Structure 1
Amino acid sequence: MLTKQAWRLINNPSSLAATIMKAKYYPNSNFVEARKGGNPSFVWSSLLETKGIIQRNTQWRIGNGLSVRIWHDKWLPDAANPMVTTPPFPHLHNATVNSLMNNQGTDWDVEVVRDIFNTRDAQLILSVPIPQGNRYDKVIWNKDEKGSSP
Protein backbone atom coordinates (compact mmCIF):
# COMPACT_ATOMS: atom_id res chain seq x y z
CA MET A 1 0.00 0.00 0.00
CA LEU A 2 2.87 2.38 0.66
CA THR A 3 4.22 1.82 -2.85
CA LYS A 4 0.81 2.72 -4.25
CA GLN A 5 0.82 5.97 -2.25
CA ALA A 6 4.32 6.85 -3.47
CA TRP A 7 3.22 6.03 -7.03
CA ARG A 8 0.35 8.50 -6.61
CA LEU A 9 2.82 11.23 -5.57
CA ILE A 10 4.69 10.63 -8.83
CA ASN A 11 1.69 10.39 -11.15
CA ASN A 12 -0.61 12.97 -9.53
CA PRO A 13 1.81 15.80 -8.70
CA SER A 14 -1.01 18.35 -8.51
CA SER A 15 -2.95 16.42 -5.83
CA LEU A 16 -3.15 18.00 -2.40
CA ALA A 17 -1.01 15.27 -0.78
CA ALA A 18 1.68 15.51 -3.48
CA THR A 19 1.74 19.32 -3.30
CA ILE A 20 2.20 19.26 0.47
CA MET A 21 4.89 16.56 0.39
CA LYS A 22 6.76 18.32 -2.39
CA ALA A 23 6.67 21.68 -0.61
CA LYS A 24 7.94 20.16 2.62
CA TYR A 25 10.35 17.42 1.54
CA TYR A 26 11.47 17.88 -2.08
CA PRO A 27 10.78 21.44 -3.30
CA ASN A 28 13.57 21.40 -5.90
CA SER A 29 13.43 17.83 -7.18
CA ASN A 30 11.00 14.95 -7.61
CA PHE A 31 9.96 12.06 -5.36
CA VAL A 32 12.52 9.62 -6.77
CA GLU A 33 15.38 12.06 -6.09
CA ALA A 34 14.03 13.21 -2.71
CA ARG A 35 16.05 12.70 0.46
CA LYS A 36 14.89 12.00 3.99
CA GLY A 37 15.89 15.40 5.33
CA GLY A 38 15.94 16.57 8.91
CA ASN A 39 13.07 15.68 11.21
CA PRO A 40 11.03 13.60 8.72
CA SER A 41 7.56 12.43 9.64
CA PHE A 42 6.82 8.73 10.05
CA VAL A 43 4.69 8.85 6.87
CA TRP A 44 7.50 10.45 4.83
CA SER A 45 10.09 7.99 6.14
CA SER A 46 7.77 5.11 5.27
CA LEU A 47 7.12 6.41 1.75
CA LEU A 48 10.85 6.77 1.13
CA GLU A 49 11.30 3.08 1.90
CA THR A 50 9.38 2.32 -1.32
CA LYS A 51 11.74 4.26 -3.61
CA GLY A 52 13.83 1.19 -4.39
CA ILE A 53 10.77 -0.75 -5.51
CA ILE A 54 9.65 2.13 -7.69
CA GLN A 55 13.09 2.67 -9.22
CA ARG A 56 13.46 -1.03 -10.09
CA ASN A 57 10.03 -1.32 -11.69
CA THR A 58 9.55 1.93 -13.58
CA GLN A 59 10.95 3.77 -16.55
CA TRP A 60 10.13 6.81 -18.66
CA ARG A 61 7.80 6.93 -21.64
CA ILE A 62 8.97 9.68 -23.95
CA GLY A 63 6.66 12.57 -24.77
CA ASN A 64 8.34 15.92 -25.42
CA GLY A 65 11.64 14.71 -23.91
CA LEU A 66 12.04 17.70 -21.58
CA SER A 67 11.95 15.73 -18.30
CA VAL A 68 14.10 12.73 -19.20
CA ARG A 69 17.88 12.93 -18.83
CA ILE A 70 19.68 10.95 -21.54
CA TRP A 71 22.40 9.37 -19.38
CA HIS A 72 20.71 9.32 -15.96
CA ASP A 73 17.20 7.95 -16.53
CA LYS A 74 15.78 4.63 -17.69
CA TRP A 75 14.01 5.28 -20.98
CA LEU A 76 15.20 2.89 -23.68
CA PRO A 77 12.91 0.01 -24.76
CA ASP A 78 15.15 -2.78 -23.50
CA ALA A 79 13.86 -4.87 -20.58
CA ALA A 80 17.36 -6.10 -19.71
CA ASN A 81 18.95 -2.61 -19.65
CA PRO A 82 16.83 0.50 -20.33
CA MET A 83 19.82 2.81 -19.73
CA VAL A 84 22.05 4.39 -22.37
CA THR A 85 25.37 2.50 -22.43
CA THR A 86 27.34 5.00 -24.52
CA PRO A 87 29.59 7.18 -22.32
CA PRO A 88 28.29 10.75 -21.97
CA PHE A 89 29.23 13.04 -24.85
CA PRO A 90 31.28 16.09 -23.73
CA HIS A 91 29.09 18.96 -22.46
CA LEU A 92 25.93 16.83 -22.74
CA HIS A 93 26.22 15.00 -19.41
CA ASN A 94 22.92 16.44 -18.11
CA ALA A 95 21.19 16.82 -21.49
CA THR A 96 17.56 15.82 -21.87
CA VAL A 97 16.08 13.57 -24.54
CA ASN A 98 14.51 16.50 -26.41
CA SER A 99 18.01 17.54 -27.50
CA LEU A 100 18.07 14.41 -29.69
CA MET A 101 14.93 15.48 -31.57
CA ASN A 102 14.54 17.77 -34.54
CA ASN A 103 13.65 21.44 -33.94
CA GLN A 104 9.92 20.73 -34.13
CA GLY A 105 10.17 17.81 -31.68
CA THR A 106 8.33 15.58 -34.12
CA ASP A 107 11.09 13.10 -34.97
CA TRP A 108 14.57 12.00 -33.96
CA ASP A 109 17.57 13.83 -35.39
CA VAL A 110 18.93 10.61 -36.92
CA GLU A 111 22.30 12.09 -37.84
CA VAL A 112 22.94 13.36 -34.30
CA VAL A 113 21.81 10.10 -32.70
CA ARG A 114 24.06 8.00 -34.94
CA ASP A 115 27.03 10.33 -34.38
CA ILE A 116 26.81 10.32 -30.57
CA PHE A 117 25.68 6.81 -29.61
CA ASN A 118 26.96 3.30 -30.07
CA THR A 119 25.02 1.02 -32.45
CA ARG A 120 22.90 -0.58 -29.73
CA ASP A 121 21.83 2.73 -28.19
CA ALA A 122 21.23 4.41 -31.56
CA GLN A 123 18.96 1.59 -32.72
CA LEU A 124 16.99 1.64 -29.47
CA ILE A 125 16.64 5.43 -29.46
CA LEU A 126 15.45 5.52 -33.06
CA SER A 127 12.89 2.80 -32.26
CA VAL A 128 11.22 4.92 -29.57
CA PRO A 129 8.06 6.50 -30.99
CA ILE A 130 7.67 10.24 -30.54
CA PRO A 131 4.01 11.12 -29.98
CA GLN A 132 2.43 13.80 -32.10
CA GLY A 133 1.34 16.89 -30.21
CA ASN A 134 2.95 18.28 -27.10
CA ARG A 135 2.73 15.30 -24.74
CA TYR A 136 4.63 15.23 -21.49
CA ASP A 137 7.10 12.53 -20.53
CA LYS A 138 5.60 10.01 -18.14
CA VAL A 139 6.93 7.51 -15.62
CA ILE A 140 5.38 4.11 -16.32
CA TRP A 141 5.19 0.89 -14.33
CA ASN A 142 7.01 -1.88 -16.25
CA LYS A 143 5.06 -4.81 -14.82
CA ASP A 144 1.65 -3.56 -15.98
CA GLU A 145 0.59 -3.80 -19.65
CA LYS A 146 -0.79 -0.24 -19.50
CA GLY A 147 2.14 1.04 -17.43
CA SER A 148 -0.27 2.64 -15.03
CA SER A 149 -0.01 1.15 -11.55
CA PRO A 150 2.05 -0.92 -9.15
Structure 2
Amino acid sequence: MYFVSSVRYSFSHNGEVFGAITPKRGIRQGDPISPYIYIMGAEGLSVIIRRNEEDRENVCAQLEVYENDDPGKYLGMPMRVGRNKTSVFSFLVDHVDHKLQSWSMQNILNAAKHAWRLINNTNPLVTNTMKVRYYLDTDFLEAVLGASPSFMWHYIMASQELVKQGCKRKIGDGKNTRVWQISWLPCVDNGFFTSEFHNELKDIVVHNLMDEGHQGWDEDILKDLCKDRDREMIQQIPILGRSRPDSWYWILENHGYFSVKSCYRRIRGGSTGGKGCFLEASLGN
Protein backbone atom coordinates (compact mmCIF):
# COMPACT_ATOMS: atom_id res chain seq x y z
CA MET A 1 0.00 0.00 0.00
CA TYR A 2 2.99 2.30 0.48
CA PHE A 3 3.67 1.98 -3.25
CA VAL A 4 0.13 2.98 -4.08
CA SER A 5 -0.05 5.92 -1.69
CA SER A 6 3.38 7.28 -2.61
CA VAL A 7 2.86 7.43 -6.37
CA ARG A 8 3.82 10.68 -8.14
CA TYR A 9 3.22 11.86 -11.68
CA SER A 10 5.27 14.08 -14.00
CA PHE A 11 4.31 15.29 -17.42
CA SER A 12 6.15 16.63 -20.43
CA HIS A 13 5.17 19.78 -22.25
CA ASN A 14 7.12 21.07 -25.28
CA GLY A 15 10.02 18.86 -24.30
CA GLU A 16 10.17 20.20 -20.75
CA VAL A 17 9.33 17.98 -17.76
CA PHE A 18 7.17 19.52 -15.11
CA GLY A 19 7.41 18.34 -11.58
CA ALA A 20 5.71 15.77 -9.46
CA ILE A 21 1.96 15.74 -8.96
CA THR A 22 0.55 13.83 -6.04
CA PRO A 23 -2.98 12.42 -6.61
CA LYS A 24 -5.28 13.29 -3.72
CA ARG A 25 -8.46 11.35 -4.74
CA GLY A 26 -7.04 7.84 -5.05
CA ILE A 27 -6.59 5.58 -8.07
CA ARG A 28 -9.26 6.09 -10.75
CA GLN A 29 -10.48 3.87 -13.57
CA GLY A 30 -8.12 4.16 -16.49
CA ASP A 31 -5.16 5.10 -14.29
CA PRO A 32 -1.98 3.51 -15.75
CA ILE A 33 -1.15 1.97 -12.40
CA SER A 34 -4.54 0.18 -12.02
CA PRO A 35 -3.53 -3.04 -13.87
CA TYR A 36 -0.47 -3.39 -11.70
CA ILE A 37 -2.50 -3.07 -8.54
CA TYR A 38 -4.83 -5.85 -9.79
CA ILE A 39 -1.85 -8.07 -10.58
CA MET A 40 -0.34 -7.49 -7.15
CA GLY A 41 -3.64 -8.33 -5.49
CA ALA A 42 -4.05 -11.50 -7.57
CA GLU A 43 -0.49 -12.58 -6.82
CA GLY A 44 -0.98 -12.01 -3.12
CA LEU A 45 -4.19 -14.08 -3.12
CA SER A 46 -2.47 -16.86 -5.07
CA VAL A 47 0.32 -16.99 -2.49
CA ILE A 48 -2.20 -17.28 0.35
CA ILE A 49 -4.06 -20.09 -1.44
CA ARG A 50 -0.86 -22.02 -2.24
CA ARG A 51 0.32 -21.76 1.36
CA ASN A 52 -2.97 -23.06 2.71
CA GLU A 53 -4.12 -25.52 0.04
CA GLU A 54 -3.32 -28.43 2.38
CA ASP A 55 -5.54 -26.90 5.03
CA ARG A 56 -8.68 -26.11 3.07
CA GLU A 57 -10.86 -25.73 6.09
CA ASN A 58 -8.54 -23.06 7.45
CA VAL A 59 -8.77 -21.09 4.20
CA CYS A 60 -12.58 -21.29 4.22
CA ALA A 61 -12.64 -20.09 7.81
CA GLN A 62 -10.36 -17.14 7.05
CA LEU A 63 -12.40 -16.07 4.02
CA GLU A 64 -15.72 -17.00 5.68
CA VAL A 65 -16.52 -19.14 2.67
CA TYR A 66 -17.79 -22.67 3.11
CA GLU A 67 -17.80 -25.51 0.61
CA ASN A 68 -20.97 -26.75 -0.99
CA ASP A 69 -21.40 -29.70 -3.33
CA ASP A 70 -23.87 -27.64 -5.38
CA PRO A 71 -22.45 -24.17 -6.05
CA GLY A 72 -25.82 -23.09 -7.44
CA LYS A 73 -26.46 -20.73 -10.34
CA TYR A 74 -25.46 -17.25 -11.34
CA LEU A 75 -27.72 -15.27 -13.66
CA GLY A 76 -29.68 -18.47 -14.24
CA MET A 77 -26.65 -20.48 -15.37
CA PRO A 78 -24.93 -23.27 -13.38
CA MET A 79 -21.71 -22.24 -11.64
CA ARG A 80 -20.11 -25.64 -12.18
CA VAL A 81 -20.10 -27.40 -15.55
CA GLY A 82 -18.66 -30.91 -15.87
CA ARG A 83 -18.09 -33.07 -18.88
CA ASN A 84 -21.75 -34.03 -19.26
CA LYS A 85 -22.98 -30.70 -20.56
CA THR A 86 -26.19 -32.28 -21.90
CA SER A 87 -27.28 -33.15 -18.38
CA VAL A 88 -26.20 -29.81 -16.92
CA PHE A 89 -28.04 -27.68 -19.47
CA SER A 90 -31.08 -29.94 -20.03
CA PHE A 91 -33.18 -27.59 -17.88
CA LEU A 92 -32.68 -24.86 -20.49
CA VAL A 93 -33.95 -27.12 -23.26
CA ASP A 94 -37.01 -28.05 -21.17
CA HIS A 95 -37.68 -24.42 -20.33
CA VAL A 96 -37.47 -23.29 -23.96
CA ASP A 97 -39.62 -26.20 -25.14
CA HIS A 98 -42.28 -25.38 -22.53
CA LYS A 99 -42.23 -21.73 -23.55
CA LEU A 100 -42.58 -22.59 -27.26
CA GLN A 101 -45.51 -24.91 -26.54
CA SER A 102 -47.18 -22.16 -24.53
CA TRP A 103 -46.70 -19.68 -27.38
CA SER A 104 -47.95 -22.21 -29.93
CA MET A 105 -51.12 -22.91 -27.94
CA GLN A 106 -51.77 -19.20 -27.43
CA ASN A 107 -51.38 -18.61 -31.17
CA ILE A 108 -53.85 -21.39 -32.01
CA LEU A 109 -56.39 -20.05 -29.51
CA ASN A 110 -56.15 -16.53 -30.94
CA ALA A 111 -56.32 -17.91 -34.49
CA ALA A 112 -59.48 -19.86 -33.60
CA LYS A 113 -61.09 -16.62 -32.42
CA HIS A 114 -60.32 -14.96 -35.77
CA ALA A 115 -61.58 -18.03 -37.64
CA TRP A 116 -64.89 -17.90 -35.75
CA ARG A 117 -65.25 -14.26 -36.78
CA LEU A 118 -64.66 -15.20 -40.41
CA ILE A 119 -67.32 -17.92 -40.23
CA ASN A 120 -69.88 -15.58 -38.70
CA ASN A 121 -68.92 -12.64 -40.92
CA THR A 122 -68.58 -10.23 -37.99
CA ASN A 123 -66.37 -7.99 -40.13
CA PRO A 124 -67.68 -8.12 -43.71
CA LEU A 125 -64.70 -6.27 -45.17
CA VAL A 126 -62.14 -8.68 -43.73
CA THR A 127 -64.32 -11.73 -44.42
CA ASN A 128 -64.91 -10.80 -48.07
CA THR A 129 -61.23 -10.04 -48.58
CA MET A 130 -60.19 -13.42 -47.20
CA LYS A 131 -62.92 -15.24 -49.11
CA VAL A 132 -61.98 -13.72 -52.45
CA ARG A 133 -58.32 -14.45 -51.85
CA TYR A 134 -58.43 -17.94 -50.35
CA TYR A 135 -61.83 -19.70 -50.50
CA LEU A 136 -63.93 -18.06 -53.18
CA ASP A 137 -65.98 -21.15 -54.10
CA THR A 138 -66.31 -22.70 -50.65
CA ASP A 139 -66.32 -21.68 -46.98
CA PHE A 140 -63.65 -21.44 -44.31
CA LEU A 141 -64.20 -24.96 -42.97
CA GLU A 142 -63.47 -26.41 -46.41
CA ALA A 143 -60.71 -23.96 -47.35
CA VAL A 144 -57.12 -25.06 -48.02
CA LEU A 145 -53.88 -23.28 -47.33
CA GLY A 146 -53.21 -22.68 -51.03
CA ALA A 147 -50.12 -21.37 -52.78
CA SER A 148 -48.16 -18.45 -51.33
CA PRO A 149 -50.42 -17.88 -48.32
CA SER A 150 -49.91 -14.76 -46.25
CA PHE A 151 -48.66 -14.99 -42.69
CA MET A 152 -52.14 -14.09 -41.40
CA TRP A 153 -53.82 -16.85 -43.44
CA HIS A 154 -51.19 -19.37 -42.31
CA TYR A 155 -51.89 -18.26 -38.75
CA ILE A 156 -55.68 -18.62 -39.03
CA MET A 157 -55.58 -21.95 -40.86
CA ALA A 158 -53.62 -23.49 -37.97
CA SER A 159 -56.89 -23.49 -36.02
CA GLN A 160 -59.15 -24.92 -38.73
CA GLU A 161 -59.36 -28.46 -37.32
CA LEU A 162 -60.05 -27.13 -33.82
CA VAL A 163 -62.84 -24.90 -35.13
CA LYS A 164 -64.36 -27.79 -37.07
CA GLN A 165 -64.68 -29.76 -33.82
CA GLY A 166 -66.67 -26.99 -32.18
CA CYS A 167 -68.86 -25.77 -35.07
CA LYS A 168 -72.36 -27.02 -35.71
CA ARG A 169 -74.98 -25.54 -38.00
CA LYS A 170 -78.31 -24.58 -36.48
CA ILE A 171 -81.00 -24.76 -39.15
CA GLY A 172 -83.34 -21.84 -39.69
CA ASP A 173 -84.72 -21.41 -43.21
CA GLY A 174 -82.05 -23.78 -44.57
CA LYS A 175 -81.01 -21.49 -47.42
CA ASN A 176 -77.37 -21.07 -46.41
CA THR A 177 -76.46 -24.62 -45.42
CA ARG A 178 -75.25 -27.05 -48.03
CA VAL A 179 -76.45 -30.59 -47.39
CA TRP A 180 -73.23 -32.58 -47.71
CA GLN A 181 -70.53 -30.06 -46.84
CA ILE A 182 -71.60 -28.79 -43.39
CA SER A 183 -72.33 -30.52 -40.07
CA TRP A 184 -76.01 -29.73 -39.46
CA LEU A 185 -77.77 -32.90 -38.31
CA PRO A 186 -78.69 -33.08 -34.58
CA CYS A 187 -75.88 -35.48 -33.72
CA VAL A 188 -72.95 -34.32 -31.63
CA ASP A 189 -70.46 -36.96 -32.73
CA ASN A 190 -71.14 -36.81 -36.46
CA GLY A 191 -73.57 -34.20 -37.69
CA PHE A 192 -72.70 -34.63 -41.38
CA PHE A 193 -75.10 -35.92 -44.00
CA THR A 194 -73.82 -39.46 -44.66
CA SER A 195 -76.13 -40.63 -47.44
CA GLU A 196 -74.73 -41.43 -50.86
CA PHE A 197 -73.20 -38.39 -52.52
CA HIS A 198 -74.47 -37.31 -55.93
CA ASN A 199 -72.19 -34.96 -57.80
CA GLU A 200 -75.05 -33.30 -59.66
CA LEU A 201 -76.60 -32.41 -56.29
CA LYS A 202 -73.41 -31.24 -54.57
CA ASP A 203 -74.63 -27.65 -54.21
CA ILE A 204 -78.14 -28.25 -52.91
CA VAL A 205 -79.01 -26.65 -49.60
CA VAL A 206 -81.15 -27.86 -46.71
CA HIS A 207 -83.99 -25.62 -47.90
CA ASN A 208 -84.31 -27.91 -50.95
CA LEU A 209 -85.30 -30.76 -48.64
CA MET A 210 -88.35 -28.85 -47.34
CA ASP A 211 -91.79 -28.84 -48.91
CA GLU A 212 -92.94 -25.87 -50.96
CA GLY A 213 -95.04 -24.39 -48.21
CA HIS A 214 -92.13 -24.47 -45.79
CA GLN A 215 -94.38 -26.30 -43.34
CA GLY A 216 -92.32 -29.47 -43.04
CA TRP A 217 -89.85 -31.77 -44.73
CA ASP A 218 -90.52 -33.18 -48.17
CA GLU A 219 -90.96 -36.86 -47.33
CA ASP A 220 -90.60 -38.00 -50.95
CA ILE A 221 -87.21 -36.28 -51.32
CA LEU A 222 -86.00 -37.62 -47.98
CA LYS A 223 -87.05 -41.14 -48.95
CA ASP A 224 -85.27 -40.98 -52.31
CA LEU A 225 -82.12 -39.21 -51.13
CA CYS A 226 -81.45 -40.24 -47.54
CA LYS A 227 -80.61 -43.44 -45.81
CA ASP A 228 -82.50 -44.29 -42.64
CA ARG A 229 -80.03 -42.71 -40.21
CA ASP A 230 -80.04 -39.31 -41.92
CA ARG A 231 -83.79 -39.30 -42.58
CA GLU A 232 -84.63 -40.02 -38.94
CA MET A 233 -82.38 -37.21 -37.72
CA ILE A 234 -83.75 -34.72 -40.24
CA GLN A 235 -87.32 -35.50 -39.25
CA GLN A 236 -86.47 -34.62 -35.65
CA ILE A 237 -85.79 -31.01 -36.67
CA PRO A 238 -89.02 -28.95 -36.60
CA ILE A 239 -89.07 -26.29 -39.30
CA LEU A 240 -92.54 -24.83 -38.90
CA GLY A 241 -92.19 -21.08 -38.43
CA ARG A 242 -88.42 -21.08 -38.90
CA SER A 243 -87.98 -18.03 -41.08
CA ARG A 244 -84.70 -16.86 -39.55
CA PRO A 245 -81.40 -17.51 -41.35
CA ASP A 246 -79.23 -20.49 -40.52
CA SER A 247 -76.61 -19.79 -37.86
CA TRP A 248 -73.52 -21.32 -36.32
CA TYR A 249 -73.57 -22.92 -32.88
CA TRP A 250 -70.44 -23.51 -30.76
CA ILE A 251 -71.08 -26.86 -29.10
CA LEU A 252 -68.20 -26.53 -26.63
CA GLU A 253 -70.15 -23.93 -24.63
CA ASN A 254 -73.62 -24.16 -23.14
CA HIS A 255 -74.59 -20.74 -24.47
CA GLY A 256 -73.53 -21.67 -28.02
CA TYR A 257 -71.07 -18.82 -28.48
CA PHE A 258 -67.35 -19.18 -29.10
CA SER A 259 -64.92 -18.80 -26.21
CA VAL A 260 -61.15 -19.14 -26.00
CA LYS A 261 -61.54 -20.99 -22.69
CA SER A 262 -63.54 -23.79 -24.34
CA CYS A 263 -60.87 -24.16 -27.02
CA TYR A 264 -58.21 -24.46 -24.34
CA ARG A 265 -60.21 -27.16 -22.56
CA ARG A 266 -60.60 -29.02 -25.86
CA ILE A 267 -56.87 -28.92 -26.60
CA ARG A 268 -56.02 -30.07 -23.08
CA GLY A 269 -58.53 -32.89 -23.28
CA GLY A 270 -60.77 -31.53 -20.54
CA SER A 271 -64.52 -31.76 -20.33
CA THR A 272 -66.55 -29.57 -22.65
CA GLY A 273 -70.13 -28.50 -22.17
CA GLY A 274 -72.76 -27.46 -24.62
CA LYS A 275 -73.42 -30.69 -26.53
CA GLY A 276 -76.76 -31.33 -24.88
CA CYS A 277 -77.67 -27.67 -25.27
CA PHE A 278 -76.92 -27.90 -28.99
CA LEU A 279 -79.34 -30.78 -29.39
CA GLU A 280 -82.00 -28.81 -27.55
CA ALA A 281 -81.32 -25.75 -29.72
CA SER A 282 -81.42 -27.79 -32.92
CA LEU A 283 -84.67 -29.51 -32.05
CA GLY A 284 -86.34 -26.41 -30.63
CA ASN A 285 -87.64 -23.30 -32.38
**TM-score, scaled relative to structure 2:** 0.47
Q: CA deviation at 1:58?
A: 1.1
- 1:25 is aligned, of 122, 126, 134, to 134
What TM-score do you get using the length of structure 1 for normalisation? 0.83
Whether 2:230 is the aligned partner of 1:121: answer yes
Q: Which residue of 2 aligns with 1:56?
A: 165
Unaligned runs of 5+ in 2: 1-109, 260-285
Identity of aligned pairs, percent?
Answer: 31
SS at match of 2:201: coil
What are the ranges of 5 or more consecutive residues in structure 1 without an aligned counterpart?
A: none
Of structures 1 and 2, the one scoring higher in RCO (CA 8 A, sep 6+) is: 1
Letter in 1 for 2:125: L
Query: Any idea what the Cα deviations from partners look like across 1:124-148, whole Å, max 9, x if unmatched?
Result: 1011132625322222211122322
Change in CA separation of 1:137 and 1:87 when aligned onto 2, cut-off 3 Å: same
Task: For 2:218, give the aligned amino acid.
Answer: D
Alpha-carbon shift at residue 27 of structure 1 (Å): 3.2
**44-53 vs 21-30, which deviates more?**
21-30
Question: Is 2:242 the partner of 1:141?
Answer: no
**Deviating 4+ runs (over 4 angstroms):** none
**SS in structure 2 opposite 1:59?**
strand
Count the aligned residue pairs.
150
Equivalent in 21, 40, 47 of residue 156 of structure 2: 47
> What's 1:75 paired with?
184
Look at both structures and tell me which one has the larger radius of gyration over its CA atoms: 2
> Equivalents in 1 of 2:198, 2:136: separation in Å?
30
Cα separation, 1, equivalents of 2:128 and 2:247: 18
The 3-state SS of whatever aligns with 1:17 is helix
Match of 2:111 in 1: 2
In 2, distance between residues paired with 1:26 and 1:94?
16
Which has the larger displacement, 140-149 or 18-27? 18-27
CA distances 1:77-106 after superposition (whole Å, capped 9, x unpaired): 011221223223684344221111011333
Instruction: Spell out, residue by residue over 1:50-93, the C-alpha distance to the aligned partner (whole angstroms, 9 max, x if none).
Output: 11111122121112212222223211101122122322368434
Tell me, yes or no, if the aligned pair for 2:214 and 2:240 is still in contact at 8 Å. Answer: no
Question: What is the rounded CA distance, in whole Å, between the counterparts of 1:131 and 1:48 in structure 2?
Answer: 37
1:104–1:15 distance in 2 versus 1, CA, 3 Å = same
3-state SS in 2 of match to 1:70: coil
Q: Structure 2 counterpart of 1:81, which letter?
A: N
Q: Which has the larger helix fraction?
A: 2
